[in-house]
Each structure stands twice: as C-alpha cells, then as structure tokens.
Chain A
Amino acid sequence: MLSRQDVNKVSLLARLQLTEAELDTMTSQLGQIVGYVEQLNELDTKSVEPLSHPVDVKNVFRDDVLQPSLPRETMLANAPHASDEFYLVPAVLGD
C-alpha cells in the first residue's frame, strides 16, 4: 500500500507543497486509486505479451518539413510572467 512517505516523496518530485492535512487526504485518496489498480495483479499474465501501446499502430512518421511556429507574443501570453522576449521564472541557480 501507499505510505504517507511515498506521497510526501511524490509531492516533492511534483513540486507540490502539501499541508499535513492534505498529505493525509492524498495518502488516503491516492491509496484507494493504487489499490484499485492493484487488482490487476490478481490476473495471471504469464502468457500475455507486454503491451506498450493500447492502439495497434506502429511507425507513424512525419516528413522533416518546416511549419510556421506561433508568434512569440501568442506563446508568451500564456505565461504567468514574461518579458517581451522571455518567459520569466524564479531564479534558477547553480545547475
């Protein structure tokens, strides 16, 4: 089952700050989802080939042909913070 520690770690990786109360709620709710999916483990899949994609389609390609990009102001308009040229984010240092 999913532990409180697991949820804490996942929230850290997802850059989510959870309060103690939220952590409890998430542990319970996520635990139920994982538990539900875990039922699949009851099936014997020894003779079933691993499936990497639900749709049986392979080899879909496009040609290396230029398409117009979106205007910069259109793209930047979606960002919480931006200058005329760049997305602006809190300082990223040391990496």
Chain B
Amino acid sequence: MSNYDIIIGLEVHVQLQTATKLFCGCSTQFGAEPNTQTCPVCTGMPGTLPVMNRKAFDLAVRTALALNCQIAPFTKWDRKQYYYPDLPKGYQISQFDLPFSHDGWLEISDPKGKIEPKRLRIQRVHLEEDAGKSMHDEVAGSADSRIDLNRTGTPLLEIVTQPDMRSPAEAKAFLTELKLLLTYLGVSDCNMQEGSLRVDGNINLHVHTDAGKIATPIVEVKNMNSFRSVERALTYEAERLWDVWQESKQKLGDVPKQTRGWDDQANITRGQRHKEESSDYRYFPDPDLVPVTVSSERVAEVQSGLGELPAALRTRLETSYGITPYDSDVIVNQGRAAADYYLAVADGVADGKLASNWFQQDVLRTLNDRSLTIEQFGVPATALVALLKKIKGGELDNARGRQVFAAMLDQGLSADAAMQALGFEQVDESELVALCQEIVAANPKIVADVKGGNAKAAGSFVGMAKKKNKNVNPARVQEICLQLIAQM
C-alpha cells in the first residue's frame, strides 16, 4: 500500500550533432587526445569573441518543435557564473529568463500495459555550452585532478520537464521515447556511455496525511548512467525519502534542496554538496553574444521539415499495415533505419503482417544474436522481399523459407540463388496436380476418411508427396488433394 505519491521531474542534457563547438570552430569529436580540441574562444581567453553555430541553433529549434514546444520570437544568452576547474571561463554560456523554447509535451505509452498512456509536459528547452571533464585518479595517490577541456563548448540542449512523472517507470518511459525521438530527428547520437545524453532527476513525495497532502523536500539525483539506473536510482530514492519523512517529518522548504549521487555498484544514493540557490549563479546577459529572433515563417518551415516522428509512424503502421500496436511499437522502437527496412519489405511484398513476422522473428533475432545494426545486416530489403513473395505465393513453405533465409544471410545469396544452392526447385503446378492425383487415387482409405469428415487425414498425403518429390509445398499438396477429393 502506498500512502504517498512520487513526484518526478527530469533534466536531460543532450549533445547536438554538430561538427564544431557552439561558439568556435573546434571539433566536437568524442575520444580525441585530451586537450587537443581547444582554442582561446572555448577556453575563455580575454579578448576572444564567441559566435553562435548556426547548425546548433537549427538543430535546437528542430528538437524543440518535435517536442511540441513554443518557439520564442526573441531569445538571448546569459552567463551562469560558478567556479569549477572544468569551466575555464568561470561562467557557462546558457539561457536564463528568455530560453528559445518553452511549454511542450511528449507522450508516453506502452502496448504491454505496464504504464498508462500519458502526456508529459516539457517546461523549457534551452541551448547552452558543455563544460570540460575533470578526473581524479585516487589509486595513483596523486594529489591533483586532471582537466580535459575538449568537451568545453560542445552544444548542449537542456530539456526540463514539469514534475509530471508519478513513478520511476514513467521516468524511464519518457527517456526511452525522448531518445527515440532525438535519433529519428538525427539531432544527437544519444550515446550515454560517451556522455551525449545525461539525466538528472528531481524527486519528492506528496504524503497523504489527515491534514491533506504534504510535499517533502526535493532531492536532485545525479550520476545515473543508463535508463535502467535512472529507474533504479529513483526507486531507491523514493523509498529513502519515505523513510526520511517518517523519521523527520521535514516538509518542502524546511531544508535546502539536496543533491545526491547514484552509486550503481552499491545501489544507493549518497549526499553531495548542497545545491546553490539559483540566484547565486548571478546570471546576466552575455554582452559578447547578440540576441536571436525567429520568425513564424521560419518556425513553420522547420515544422514542415521535421519528417515522420515515432508516434506518427506507430499510428501509420497500425492503420495502413494492419499490424498490432505491440508489433508497431517493436518495429518503430528499433530506430528509423530499421523501421525503413520494415517498410521497404512490407511495401515490396504488399503484406504488412508477413513482413512484421519475418522482421521480428528473423531479422531482429539475427541482429540481436550477432550484435549487428540494420545497416550491417547482410540481406537487403529487396532480397527479403523476393523471398517473402515466394512464401506468400506458395512456392516455399515457412520451414524451407527459413533455410533459404539462412543461406541468403550466410552466403550473401539472392533468394533464387539460395534456393538453387539448397536444391529447392519450384515444382510446376501441373506436375504437382499430377502427383496429387496419383496419391489420391492410390489411397482410397484416406479419401474415405476425409469424405467422412476427417479433413486432418489429408495430412498424410504430404509425407507421401514429399517422398516422391522433396520440393513440393506441403500446404499446396494438402490444398490440391482436398480439392481433388471434394470433386470425387
């Protein structure tokens, strides 16, 4: 039983896929030698002038519109001031009171029914620069921390949700859908291992008491390095907050907001420094950067170029391809390239369900088993179409189809070449009918059985036919035999 509600809001930082940094021409490439991608601008040397990367701003607007945000006609950048060794300028260029976008939403749903469909509100999306990285090697016993400023100045989108999530599972669902959306848009690679996508969670409880609902102090949880750890960390933190509440009865406002870090090994959160009040950042407009205006025509132009987003594609697959919400969810969640593969197969063979079955059971299974991406997959959509056409047309049964598929995959053959290699030949229709006539005539007992209402008895014709010609299609043999018997 739960006598409290869990209230969760998320702050997601996403690196945008630009070649260069937000304010200078240094590369944003991940994994370079430390401190080889910096210049006087991104390290904040006196007398340098930052100039906004047009592509970064365009990608930002694209993302905000896909998140159903309002685009501000006028936006500016501010200095957020704090001292930290990985922040060489002593301030981060960010957006304070006039972010370029605000008030959007993203819908989450789950065809497996684990969570209710829900529209989660986005408070704001703003564009800022990333900081560098600090590393401390405790094992080496060194007294120093090492600073790598390659990441400094990488374009970063901060997406702030409203506190609309009511469970860690909803938070995970939001992140999963957000990541999918961002990859469909092509604005970020969302690689959490490389820090392209980072998540902080704000969580507190609304405790039900006789005096009504009471909000507990808010805790910010950091260091969550996967969506799974987000779910686990928030689950842990909700339970911890409940324990703290029972002991302390502290309400929102009684203590400052606390920051806690998730320890993935120990499965706990640990307290970190107290969050400075936001006024302590002493934001003020950055005099080095000029404001940006966005016309409604420009907004309309970007909007029309967004392309088909995951939610719309799911609906299209259900309505135009006749597959279930569950199947369309599986397909769409594989990413745009995989969904395009499915669409090419489904369109080619003109059968959404058959394509869905093969895509999920054979294509996806192979990708999983062999840790491949769809781009690395050896059977082009056109080749799979050729195979599925043979199955649909009765030339191959499913079992033989799978053998052909395996040969296509492993030897890079076309469907025809794979069939030839396996010795599968299409049996001519007249030959097939003649063969069926022969076995029907030779088995009056079975014929009588079938006529007596036991249609299943016709199954034994299949084995007989296969003995005479291993290439016959079992389903066709049964069909023809039943027709012949019906005419007798």
Interface residues of A (CB under 8 A from B): 13-15, 52-55, 57-70, 72, 75-76, 78, 81, 83, 85-95
B122 to chain A, nearest CB (A): 24
B426 at the interface (CB under 8 A from A): no
Q: How would residues 52 to 84 of chain B score, 1 for a CB under 8 Å from any chain A CB and 0 otherwise?
A: 111111000000000000000000100001111
Q: Looking at chain B's contact residues, is the secondary structure mostly helix, strand, loop, or mixed? A: loop
Select A60's contact among B35, B45, B285, B290, beta carbons within 8 Å. B290
Select A66's contact among B25, B36, B145, beta carbons within 8 Å. B25
B480 at the interface (CB under 8 A from A): no
Binds A, one of B146-154, B156-164, B208-216: B146-154
Q: Are A59 and B292 in contact, with the CB atoms below 8 A?
A: yes
Residue pairs across A and B with Cβ atoms less than 8 A apart, 11 shown, are: A60-B290, A61-B53, A62-B52, A66-B25, A67-B20, A69-B39, A75-B39, A78-B45, A85-B33, A89-B144, A93-B145
Chain A residue with Cβ nearest B55: A64
Do A72 and B51 contact each other (CB < 8 Å), given the known contacts A88-B147, A91-B136, A92-B145?
no
Taking CB atoms, residues of chain A closer than 8 Å to B291 are: 52-53, 58
Taking CB atoms, residues of chain B closer than 8 Å to A53 are: 76, 285, 287, 290-291
B473 at the interface (CB under 8 A from A): no
Select A58's contact among B40, B143, B149, B292, beta carbons within 8 Å. B292
Name the interface size band of chain B.
Answer: 35 or more
Q: Looking at chain A's contact residues, is the secondary structure mostly helix, strand, loop, or mixed? A: loop
B111 to chain A, nearest CB (A): 39
The 3 closest A-B pairs by CB, nearest first: A67-B25, A86-B146, A61-B54
A37 to B290, CA, bound (A): 24
Q: Are B282 and A13 in contact, with the CB atoms below 8 A?
A: yes
Q: Are B55 and A86 in contact, with the CB atoms below 8 A?
A: no
B33 to chain A, nearest CB (A): 7
Q: Which of A63, A76, A89 has the most CB of B within 10 A?
A: A89
B38 at the interface (CB under 8 A from A): yes
Chain B residue with Cβ nearest A16: B83
A62 to B55, CA, bound (A): 9
Taking CB atoms, residues of chain A closer than 8 Å to B40 are: 70
B204 to chain A, nearest CB (A): 22
Chain B residue with Cβ nearest A95: B272
Select B56's contact among A64, A69, A94, beta carbons within 8 Å. A64
Select A61's contact among B52, B148, B293, beta carbons within 8 Å. B52
Select B52's contact among A54, A60, A87, beta carbons within 8 Å. A60
Q: Are B282 and A66 in contact, with the CB atoms below 8 A?
A: no
Taking CB atoms, residues of chain A closer than 8 Å to B25 are: 62, 65-68
Q: Are B76 and A62 in contact, with the CB atoms below 8 A?
A: no
Select A86's contact among B18, B35, B53, beta carbons within 8 Å. B35
Select A70's contact among B39, B55, B83, beta carbons within 8 Å. B39
B62 to chain A, nearest CB (A): 14
Q: Are A62 and B51 in contact, with the CB atoms below 8 A?
A: yes
Within 8 A of A (CB), among B258-278: 261, 272-273, 276
B334 at the interface (CB under 8 A from A): no
Q: Are B290 and A69 in contact, with the CB atoms below 8 A?
A: no
Select A64's contact among B39, B43, B54, B293, beta carbons within 8 Å. B54
Chain B residue with Cβ nearest A81: B144
Q: Are B147 and A86 in contact, with the CB atoms below 8 A?
A: yes
Chain A residue with Cβ nearest B135: A86
Taking CB atoms, residues of chain A closer than 8 Å to B261 are: 95
B344 at the interface (CB under 8 A from A): no
Q: Are A15 and B83 in contact, with the CB atoms below 8 A?
A: yes
Taking CB atoms, residues of chain A closer than 8 Å to B36 are: 69, 72
B291 to chain A, nearest CB (A): 5
A95 to B135, CA, bound (A): 11
Taking CB atoms, residues of chain A closer than 8 Å to B84 are: 92
Chain A residue with Cβ nearest B134: A92
Q: Are B53 and A62 in contact, with the CB atoms below 8 A?
A: yes
B85 at the interface (CB under 8 A from A): yes
Taking CB atoms, residues of chain B closer than 8 Å to A93 are: 136, 145
B306 at the interface (CB under 8 A from A): no
B26 at the interface (CB under 8 A from A): yes
Taking CB atoms, residues of chain B closer than 8 Å to A61 are: 51-54, 57
Select A95's contact among B24, B55, B81, B273, beta carbons within 8 Å. B273
A88 to B27, CA, bound (A): 23
Q: Are B38 and A13 in contact, with the CB atoms below 8 A?
A: no
Q: Are B145 and A88 in contact, with the CB atoms below 8 A?
A: yes
Do A64 and B18 contact each other (CB < 8 Å), given the known contacts A86-B35, A86-B148?
yes
B144 to chain A, nearest CB (A): 4
Chain B residue with Cβ nearest A88: B144
A15 to B272, CA, bound (A): 19
Q: Are B144 and A90 in contact, with the CB atoms below 8 A?
A: yes
Taking CB atoms, residues of chain B closer than 8 Å to A88 are: 144-147
